[in-house]
Amino acid sequence: MITVFADIDGTFVEMDPVAPEINVRAVRELQAGDNHFVFISGRSMDQIEPMLETNDLDCDIIFGNGAGYKLLGEEPVYRNELSPENYRAAIEVLEAHDAFYHVHTSDGVFLKPPAVFEGHYQRLLEAARARGDEQMLGGIEWKWNYFSNQCKHEEDLVAYFAAHPEIHVFKLETMDADDVKRNAPRAELEALGLYAYSSMPDNLEIVNPDNTKGHAIEHFLEMFPATTSYGIGDGENDLPMFKVVDVAVAMGNAKPEVKAVCQYVTGNCLDGGMGEFIFKHIL
């Protein structure tokens, strides 16, 4: 049995939730052959499921960069969440750096009331306009609408989570177009024993150190051994995945350091590079 692990953002889809047709067709044909196709993403379940519905797919999922998994027809299983001590300390660091952050949980995505971050949002828009990057600009506007209208807002997130211990907190994520400001908290977060990485050009994600795609894939393959495993991705958080699969595949839009560790480089995300590789080299 072949198992393909594929990232979502920058691999299966870009900002548009509708994937290139060749990607969707590749997933379906791979599954039809009794193989495993697994989405492995830093996204939370409530961010992945609408994308699956949009593309009329049903797949095994590893979410939160390895915080948990959901098998076809089953409920999510949480494995490596952030302890209250971890997320309290991480939030303290982020707030000391005036970071624009949100929190991924088993009950959706939380942040402070968006008005608190209005200045950060305006700086992100200004950066996108200065770069002349229409795709980045559209993505920021989409994210702000998502934060404002689909996420949950609490003035004191630490107090709220303490009052609701049934909620699993598994990732904090920041956004900043300034590389220096975005990465400023990284050393302090890592000194706390946390794993901090970027999955997109303007973000920083903070998780349990066991929350890597590599650890998650090793666990999945213990449950479902594969004759050959493939990993397809484009970001920094895909590097641990590439270390544990048999065949590592970088997207054409990946950074040079990601391409350098892979056996194959396929086409860009927008052109359906993921599906192109599956049809050319697997099916």
Does the pLDDT at position 133 exceed 80?
A: no
Region 54-69: mean pLDDT is 95
Does the pLDDT at position 156 exceed 90?
A: yes
Among 101-110, 165-174, 191-200, 233-242, the least confident range? 191-200
Instruction: Provide the pLDDT for residue 167.
Output: 95
What pTM value is reported for the model? 0.84
- Give tens-digit pLDDT for 86-120: 999 999 999 999 999 999 999 999 999 999 999 99
User: Are both 20 and 109 inside the same structural domain?
Assistant: no
Our count of domains for the chain comes to 2
User: Are both 97 and 188 inside the same structural domain?
Assistant: yes
Looking up residue 236, the CATH number of its domain turns out to be 3.40.50.1000
Does the pLDDT at position 272 exceed 80?
A: yes
Instruction: Provide the pLDDT for residue 52.
Output: 96
Instruction: Provide the pLDDT for residue 15.
Output: 78
CA torsion sign for 260, 138, 63, 280 is negative
Radius of gyration of the chain (CA): 18
User: Are both 177 and 267 inside the same structural domain?
Assistant: no
Q: What angle do CA 141, 143, 148 make, to 5 degrees?
A: 95
User: Are both 91 and 164 inside the same structural domain?
Assistant: yes
> Cα–Cα distances in Å, from 259 out to 235, 254, 256, 277?
10, 6, 5, 15
Does the pLDDT at position 130 exceed 90?
A: no
Provide the domain limits for residue 177.
84-207
Instruction: Provide the pLDDT for residue 222.
Output: 96
Looking up residue 124, the CATH number of its domain turns out to be 3.30.1240.10
Does the pLDDT at position 135 exceed 80?
A: no
Confidence category of residue 207, pLDDT binned at 50, 70, 90: very high
User: Are both 197 and 94 inside the same structural domain?
Assistant: yes
Across-strand partners of 111?
153
User: Are both 110 and 199 inside the same structural domain?
Assistant: yes
Bridge-based pairing of strands 36-40 and 247-250 is unpaired
Mean pLDDT of the chain, nearest integer: 94
CA torsion sign for 146, 109, 39, 235 is positive
Instruction: Provide the pLDDT for residue 202.
Output: 87
Among 207, 238, 259, the domain boundary falls at 207
Instruction: Provide the pLDDT for residue 134.
Output: 82
User: Are both 49 and 66 inside the same structural domain?
Assistant: yes
Confidence category of residue 175, pLDDT binned at 50, 70, 90: very high
Confidence category of residue 63, pLDDT binned at 50, 70, 90: very high
Does the pLDDT at position 148 exceed 80?
A: yes
Instruction: Provide the pLDDT for residue 8.
Output: 97
User: Are both 193 and 105 inside the same structural domain?
Assistant: yes
Instruction: Provide the pLDDT for residue 92.
Output: 97
User: Are both 189 and 95 inside the same structural domain?
Assistant: yes
- The angle, 0 to 180 degrees and rounded to 10, between the axes of the packed helices 134-149 and 118-131 is 160
